[in-house]
Amino acid sequence: MTKLKCDKNIVLVNLYSGLIGGVFILPVIVMFFQNQLGLTFGEFMFTQAVFAAGMFVLEVPTGYIGDLFKRKIVLAISSFFMVLGWLYYWFVADDLAGAIIAELLLAVGACFYSGTVNAILYDHLVDKGWIDEARQQEGRRFGITLYMVGFASIVGAWLYDHNPMLPVIVTLVTKALGIAAALLMDEPQQHKEPVRKNPLHDMAETMRYALHGHKEVAFLIFAGALIFSSTKISLWVQQPYYEAANIPVATFGMLMAASFFVSGIIGQWGHHLDGKLNNRQALFVLFLLQALAAAGAAFLLGPQYVFAGVPVLLLGHLVYGLGYPRFQTAVNNLVESSRRGTILSTSSLMIQLAAIPLMWLFGIINDHGSLKLALLAQAGLALFIGVPLILGSMRKRKA
């Protein structure tokens, strides 16, 4: 274990992930959109749907590039596009159109990051003969990312009080440092297959491999898409929820940080629960927890319920912290190295595809209905679609 902690590539992958998690504008981004760009929460959610659409279009091609070329270069490119996105927010964006362009630049960066960072860590562990540590190391990397998000949330809210653009500037700096961290990594060996016809053909074949040829991989990808697209809503709903509860803006960062720290701890140590539940049982628990958190928060909305409603709302973050590292590792274990980056990107692609209509619809329900109604819609998604999906799958496997 000591060797793993001191290993150069593991340290750099964890550092890189932490720098990517340093989004200092996160705890006040809804206020940033409202006060600096003049946009409503529904319009903000529309930009997030655009971000998801951008990732949907680019996710598999960038994953393919991550398999075809050096992954550390791909990670450096990821940070470069994130720098461009935050520069656009700093100097150019002042309306919905500007926010959409910035989000598309960030989506390009996120696509190059997604899948590639997991693949470079996993292949490095394979090279070193440490494959048995893959679940634990991925959980640690995931946890470090969320710890940094939590730290950035605390600092970002404080910076916003001093100058609304400071969180954007510091976020930009962390992404620039990510370029250096990526370039310092050692490239692990990849077992590449030759390009058989052309990149589009290879990507289509890999998607068929995941979504049609291997049922267990396909099931994990589709179930993961449903549950983890819903957790995106849990993240963005926090700020309007806090506003409805009359919580001071300066406290937003502390509350969001607490949720990320808890998620990070669960993500890092959740491997101890792996032997207790199989993949379908774990997904059933995640969907049920998501439904309870959203419905409970809806009925406990308002200043009079603040001390009960906020903790219940934050339970939704446990779904992401507990489930995502396990989900990534389960997919990793089912595919070979030569396709790993592309298949992981395909799974992320499906999450983004599911998130596009969900976030757009959630914003509409919030703007034209109420936050309570939107939370109940989120709960219904998990309870009446997610839970029956898992139960039906369990019955089929027993048959």
**What architecture is the 10-185+206-398 domain classified under in CATH?**
Up-down Bundle (1.20)
Query: pLDDT tens-digit profile of 3-35?
Result: 666 788 889 988 999 999 999 998 889 889 989
The lowest-confidence range among 207-211, 286-290, 315-319 is: 207-211
pLDDT at residue number 193? 46
Mean of per-residue pLDDT scores for the chain? 82
The lowest-confidence range among 111-115, 132-136, 216-220, 354-358 is: 132-136
| 274 vs 322, higher pLDDT | 322
Query: pLDDT tens-digit profile of 233-287?
Result: 888 888 889 888 888 877 888 888 877 777 767 666 655 555 666 777 778 888 9
pLDDT at residue number 222? 83
pLDDT at residue number 79? 95
Average the pLDDT over 173-177 and give the result: 96
Tokens read off for 47:
């930009």
Q: What is the three-state SS of the chain?
A: CHHHHHCHHHHHHHHHHHHHCCCCCHHHHHHHHHHHCCCCHHHHHHHHHHHHHHHHHHHHHHHHHHHHCCHHHHHHHHHHHHHHHHHHHHHCCCCHHHHHHHHHHHHHHHHHHCCHHHHHHHHHHHHHCCHHHHHHHHHHHHHHHHHHHHHHHHHHHHHHHHCCCHHHHHHHHHHHHHHHHHHCCCCCCCCCCCCCCCHHHHHHHHHHHHHHHCHHHHHHHHHHHHHHHHHHHHHHCHHHHHHHCCCCHHHHHHHHHHHHHHHHHHHHHHHHHCCCCCHHHHHHHHHHHHHHHHHHHHHCCCHHHHHHHHHHHHHHHHHHHHHHHHHHHHHHHHCCHHHHHHHHHHHHHHHHHHHHHHHHHHHHHHHHCCHHHHHHHHHHHHHHHHHHHHHHHHHHHHC
| 206 vs 159, higher pLDDT | 159
| 340 vs 187, higher pLDDT | 187
The lowest-confidence range among 202-216, 286-300, 346-360 is: 202-216
**What's the rounded Cα separation, in Å, for the pair 126 and 59?**
24
Average the pLDDT over 391-397 and give the result: 72
Q: What is the pTM of this model?
A: 0.77
pLDDT at residue number 380? 93
Please say if the pLDDT value at position 317 is more than 70.
Answer: yes
The lowest-confidence range among 228-232, 263-267, 353-357 is: 263-267
